[in-house]
Structure 1
């Protein structure tokens, strides 16, 4: 848990033409002030500060005394990305300043400024500086530990990344200057019965709830914090934004309408019920489920496919009947079938089952490349119709669209054609000589103004064989499901282990595939908005959920943890322990394995039924011993 005031550490100082006295004093409550001063017309002294990790909230400065002039803050997530600057007048009472602007940063550079044309001494005596934390005050009820510190650190960084994306809804949207007054009022005033916090994509950019991101982040929020109320709040937000046709927006504040993201809401509602067991919440939101299902059945074609009428979701332009969207539709309908059965609507549940089976047949008939052993997909460019992306292949294997034989071929293809030392790339080959369609140029105009053909490749560079942990995590899950434990571990270490060793300490939106670094290049060069890559992105943190669900091996199989399945995959590890919050209490599990023995020690509420699925590779001649609540139940 971390909330309240976040202190900062001294990094370095540059006196320049000024004076710095007692530079460490402002970092402690117990001692006197730090002095910064310079003569107007010369270079101000500068102090560099480090919060030790990414933090969010409001800059706070307490002054003993000051001259006229301004305090200047420059900040960013890394030392190479100090692109953000705020200038604040010295406070009139020389006692306290509280900057009302939301910030997300790790490093802070503090200096002084004077706009006076006359010579004088500009100074500030700073008693205290820090951040008033804004993130959800999470209790880490769940956890993961092993005999190898790297994996423990990856879990902690993933959980912390997602915690920083749990923020009060009233602070939403980095681009609020683009909003209408009506939308600004909605952001400021929206309330719900569950929580004031919602799930953002990232705390700097976009500071917005995106339902495709929410699905992955919520899984970790349940497993690490048991914070069901934050997920309910976010799902209720999208419910309130659902239009009369039944469509849920892809993004809550900017209101971008992606037909694929619309589908993730169904999956997220089911998973919220699966983990929380809160049928009252399900009943509350059920009218929205019915409206969305009616829209789906009205909108699909005779193959069961849904048309995307927008140019992109999270990746390349995907307008049309692309295969990745049909995979998400299949999964959404599987979740909808379970929701309808829960609500005793057997007729609708059966309709969902029939439609998704039709979709599954047609995906395999239309998007499978037998020669390559992989699924291809469509891309909406003027000079290219098909390509091999990771998303359709990951979705097809994780959601059960691909059979066992195809799953093995797909995972071999991804490993052989997309893996590098930093993870797995978005596509198998870079796309060259990109030409946008006229429709897509119109859609991009809201960001760039006029878009020319020569701009196309630079605009798409971030997805052109780059590494996006969001989809890499689906590939990790696919490998776990297929029993390819070594490959799952190798991908986690390559992608998240690489980020872990770099600033700011949280997991990024995407990784530069060539350098393995956090890119300080603008995601879409020429854009009117601040869209440098996000150094703290919740969809990259959900790998921590996969470690609890597949390495520790605990997953709910009935709503509200009435029943769980324990099926661990230890891979390179020999000792693993962890915990998982449930509505009945916390489940704790420790596993030890050597050449002769496999021992599981479980502390679990009596209300939870447990099924064990221990793989042959985990047993492999070992004696199995299971202890539940200190009673040996199997040897």
Structure 2
């Protein structure tokens, strides 16, 4: 089924008490403040006709320039059983007199005032309290990443509307979809001491991940309120979160927004390591994010899976978040602390728990996720590739070899030659649980073996490198002989479930080099014909006969698929164009919906977030396009440790130009390219200590190529001793030294 189209924009009313006029105010605020500040015409986030301008990337940055953030609008006001006196803009700091809220009873009677911060944010709310009745009511603030899932009379969240109006659900089991909401586990309470008013009060607990903040009262009485602001405590070691070290820009406004939403999502997931969530909560326990991540430096950041929840470090999420960090903020210490914390949890047999062991819920999952052991190895390899940090690799090398030994221990040596996690009872992975011999996890293991061969070689262990390389070949052969279905032209889910052909299996087979030759194109053609639907590419085809495998939209493997399409050699550029089409459809849909700034954990068939009010709408594992747009579309990738070797191999996908900068340990590598009907021009600047490969796409045509004005390829062969190769898709010049260079092709 092929049917891709942009999603609709839908915003649900916050409460039944919202008037038509206030709803018009809500919609106007959403339209005018998608990035958290008022914008004039010509802003890329608000102007549908915006045309990107070369070099002008800063308007796309969603991160604030400092750590104090103000709301941009009052999105709704509802008196309910109380009263609202004065101008609600007092909470924006733009009215001369405070706003008085009066409640006649408990929280079900309280007036509600909802503030819109214009984008997903996180931190501690500050609120000016000018005065209160002699016996004041309790003052509460509720939080929600979207209006659609803010508790209200029309969106009850399993009873949350009567207990925590305006909140979504951040705490598992209490109000999780299908579970009754029995007590207020989500609003934050401000203590009022009338003897110390007026005063500016700061929330005692942070809330990570919200766009909307709803003020309400509990108990009879009144409170006079002034300006509300936020102590933005995400990315705490970044004094100016908006000052990116790496950037991307192209001729496509939508793709640019997707790049920056991914970068901002990962920033919003970056916090001090003592702000994790320990859950599930005891009945009556209020929301708090103040647990220490085991094994992490308490004075340094980590990168959580989501700002709202789970608020722990996960290996699979870091597989996306770490490269995004390297390519945008270059906050390497946050990556180091995250990877170290997980490595320190390794069990005696080499198994590495998938997540920070914070609280009972995480402790219960200590051996659940076998897949994430493969991501442990991958993350350390990527760290080596991007940073070249030999001491860090040496520190954790014993853990890496033990993890690989554990993976090898669950491989069937006598039969299939494939790994499965049934015997270890570690069958869970990102989207479903399957104890079989899967294409997806075996492809990840094959890539680990390739990575360990390279790392062992870099450490001088030639024997170890040969062993890992031989195993990689054996696993690859086993996947292709047992899991490739030639009649369907796709990889099976597993030997146990041979009638399902998942997105993850086929995309991973391409990305990891399992799929050779025609298998790559056939696998991607299968997904295009069978999995593509309204909002993107589904995890499995809707026609899959196995009822236990249901389709939905999952950002992690969708990122893999987009990357796989960019990676397949295709002189026509069709696969590249489909990759960008997938990005515009799936990630563009997310940005067309609330909160309009960050990327989602998952989505249902109807295009809504996948776990309703519990879904994380700032989940870093969804940021795959940020990586692909820099490393594949712009084309800048490390090919040796710490970018001592690099390549710039653009994949235009129909774009007319792209440019950007990538931070490296040696200094920034900048690249800019422009495509036309007559040829292609790439300019690049690289620092000392690097040596690179530059390439131009051919579009399937015969081209003449010049480097810095000197012909190096005449259309059929290298000229003047230049190191040039051609494969029908690109012409590549290797051994290019540091400095500024221009590579130009002309169609013959």
Which of 426, 433, 437 is the equivalent residue of 1:321?
437
Contact kept in structure 2, 1:26 and 1:33, CA below 8 Å: no
Deviation of the 1:623 alpha carbon: 6.5
1:91 and 2:192 aligned:
yes
CA shift digits 1:26-69 (9 cap, x unpaired):
323x8655222325249433212111111112222232222311
Which of 104, 114, 126 is the equivalent residue of 1:60?
126
Which of 508, 520, 523 is the equivalent residue of 2:600?
508
- Does the residue aligned with 1:387 lie in a helix, a strand or coil? coil
**Which deviates more, 292-301 or 234-243?**
292-301
* CA distance 1:403–1:63, shift in 2 (3 Å): same
1:389 and 2:502 aligned:
yes
CA shift digits 1:350-406 (9 cap, x unpaired):
1111111111111111111111011112398xxx66422111111111100011211
- In the other structure, the counterpart of 1:134 is 234
Cα distance in structure 1, aligned partners of 2:245 and 2:511:
27
- In the other structure, the counterpart of 1:73 is 141
**Which deviates more, 426-435 or 580-589?**
426-435
CA shift digits 1:52-88 (9 cap, x unpaired):
1111122222322223111132321111111424152
Which of 86, 90, 111 is the equivalent residue of 2:216?
111
Cα distance in structure 2, aligned partners of 1:285 and 1:350:
21
- In the other structure, the counterpart of 1:260 is 371
Superposition pairs of residues 338-349 of structure 1, within 5 angstroms: 338-349=454-465
- Does the residue aligned with 2:318 lie in a helix, a strand or coil? helix
1:18 and 2:83 aligned:
yes
- In the other structure, the counterpart of 1:289 is 400
Superposition pairs of residues 357-506 of structure 1, within 5 angstroms: 357-378=473-494, 386-429=499-542, 434=547, 464-482=550-568, 483=570, 484-504=575-595, 505-506=597-598
Contact kept in structure 2, 1:57 and 1:135, CA below 8 Å: no
* CA distance 1:33–1:63, shift in 2 (3 Å): farther
**Which deviates more, 290-299 or 100-109?**
290-299
Deviation of the 1:177 alpha carbon: 2.9
- Does the residue aligned with 2:274 lie in a helix, a strand or coil? helix
Deviation of the 1:191 alpha carbon: 5.8
- In the other structure, the counterpart of 2:69 is 6
* CA distance 1:343–1:566, shift in 2 (3 Å): same
CA shift digits 1:446-473 (9 cap, x unpaired):
xxxxxxxxxxxxxxxxx72111111011
CA shift digits 1:444-503 (9 cap, x unpaired):
xxxxxxxxxxxxxxxxxxx72111111011111111111321111111111111111111
Deviation of the 1:556 alpha carbon: 0.7
Deviation of the 1:294 alpha carbon: 2.9
Contact kept in structure 2, 1:22 and 1:34, CA below 8 Å: yes
1:165 and 2:269 aligned:
yes
* CA distance 1:194–1:621, shift in 2 (3 Å): farther
Cα distance in structure 2, aligned partners of 1:157 and 1:622:
38
Contact kept in structure 1, 2:684 and 2:741, CA below 8 Å: no
Which of 306, 311, 319 is the equivalent residue of 2:419?
306
Contact kept in structure 2, 1:72 and 1:86, CA below 8 Å: yes
Cα distance in structure 2, aligned partners of 1:235 and 1:147:
36
Cα distance in structure 2, aligned partners of 1:69 and 1:430:
56
Give the structure with the larger helix fraction.
Answer: 1
1:51 and 2:150 aligned:
no
Deviation of the 1:519 alpha carbon: 4.7
- In the other structure, the counterpart of 1:453 is none
- In the other structure, the counterpart of 2:623 is 541
- Does the residue aligned with 1:52 lie in a helix, a strand or coil? strand
Cα distance in structure 1, aligned partners of 2:610 and 2:431:
17
- In the other structure, the counterpart of 2:449 is 333
* CA distance 1:300–1:36, shift in 2 (3 Å): same
Cα distance in structure 2, aligned partners of 1:232 and 1:178:
33
Contact kept in structure 1, 2:105 and 2:218, CA below 8 Å: no
Contact kept in structure 1, 2:294 and 2:356, CA below 8 Å: no
* CA distance 1:582–1:176, shift in 2 (3 Å): farther
Q: CA RMSD in A?
A: 2.7
Superposition pairs of residues 178-197 of structure 1, within 5 angstroms: 187-188=291-292, 190=294, 192=296, 196-197=300-301
* CA distance 1:429–1:41, shift in 2 (3 Å): closer
- Does the residue aligned with 2:504 lie in a helix, a strand or coil? helix
Cα distance in structure 2, aligned partners of 1:511 and 1:397:
24
Cα distance in structure 2, aligned partners of 1:161 and 1:618:
37
1:564 and 2:646 aligned:
yes
* CA distance 1:178–1:270, shift in 2 (3 Å): farther
- In the other structure, the counterpart of 1:235 is 339
- In the other structure, the counterpart of 1:36 is 100
Contact kept in structure 2, 1:379 and 1:386, CA below 8 Å: no
In structure 1, stretches of 5+ residues that fail to align are 436-462, 523-531
- Does the residue aligned with 1:62 lie in a helix, a strand or coil? strand
Contact kept in structure 2, 1:37 and 1:123, CA below 8 Å: yes
TM-score, L = length of structure 2 = 0.73
Which of 584, 587, 593 is the equivalent residue of 2:669?
587
* CA distance 1:434–1:174, shift in 2 (3 Å): farther
- Does the residue aligned with 1:100 lie in a helix, a strand or coil? coil
Cα distance in structure 2, aligned partners of 1:350 and 1:287:
18
Contact kept in structure 2, 1:194 and 1:233, CA below 8 Å: no
* CA distance 1:8–1:186, shift in 2 (3 Å): closer
